Amino acid sequence: MASKPAALLQDIESSPAEVSLAGRDLCSVADLTTVELAGILELAHDVKTNPATYRWALDAKQMVMFFEKASLRTRLTFETAMNTLGGSAMFVDQTQSPLGERESLADIARNVERWVSAIVLRTYAHETITEMAQYASVPVINALSDIEHPCQAIADFMTLEERFGNLRGFNFTYVGDGNNVCHSLMLTGALLGAHCTVGTPKNYAPKADIVAQARAIANVTGSNIALVNDPIAAVTGADAVYTDICTSMGFEHEATKRAPIFKPYQVNEALMSQAAPAAVFMHCLPAHRNAEVTDAVFDGPQSVVFDQAENRMHAQKALLLMLLGKGGNRSDGSSR
């Protein structure tokens, strides 16, 4: 990450339409520069507006998904994205046999790269994704690890762009557990020049190295990353309030312990009233209703949770197009 600020400075004035990510991996949001992220988002908006023009853009391309964790949105949005771009998606259930247990990751990569155009991984250990990327010659996409959830964050900020336009100077707040989703949101917000405030209980803050990465990016883009423990202070004046479940997959044994610790961080009507009048409520789903968020907020007029869920598909279409070298042109042959 040490070279990222310099790369950002060189890249920040470039045009998103000129971006090429062909053959790259997406293990972390930090793999992207400001303009590369802007290019993905620009394409995602166009794909959503003009889906028919990309209908055969990935004709005959194959994508395999190895999932160690249960999934609704991630699996279906990736499958739908690939299928409606003209390619094929294959799902391999690894919930009973973690990747690398039966066969080394290097051997899996060297087999799979000969059959498919892209590998999508939903894992526990982030190292599973980075090791697969090390050995596979085709793009590897992080569809969730214990450290990051980049595809979720890209779709989330796409949703905010739809509502608010340019997000430079935007006030984004996350309250709850400083988990993988929180990590990717901080990095994405920093790349886009949004001010990010994270409100967590003590001992549940995001990882220090991820915070340092986000702040290094923010120093270049002119945004700010703030960590607080007071949920009211975190939310006050926010343009978007985001939360997630308090006990992520893999930490179920801590659910009873965490419940009282996170109770003050519940996003309810009283907490949302501290945000800006036009603020939106966000959640990556699945939600534990009336735990981290009340029904009144989740189902209320400020909620954009299902817009976020829809945009997973559009953002992932754009990501696949970019990584597979089809980001510059529509399937009808015209340029964006």
For the annotated catalytic residues, the residue numbers are 122, 149, 152, 244, 284, 312
Angstrom distance (rounded) from CA 21 to CA 19: 7
Angstrom distance (rounded) from CA 65 to CA 121: 6
**Local structure of residue 329 (DSSP, 8 states):** B
CA torsion, points 144, 150, 154, 157, in degrees to nearest 10? 100
Contact 196, 255 (CB under 8 A): no
- What number of CA atoms fall less than 13 Å from residue 266's CA on the CB side? 19
Angstrom distance (rounded) from CA 269 to CA 129: 39
Residue type, 272: M
256 by Cβ neighbours in 10 Å (0-12 / 13-18 / 19+) ranks as exposed
User: What is the per-residue burial (b if ≥16 Cβ within 10 Å, else e) of 85-118?
Assistant: bbbbbeeeebeeeebbeeeebeebbeebbeebbb
Strand partners, 90: 64
Angstrom distance (rounded) from CA 105 to CA 28: 19
Phi-psi region of 60 (alpha: psi -120 to 50; beta: other; left: phi over 0): left
**Local structure of residue 142 (DSSP, 8 states):** E
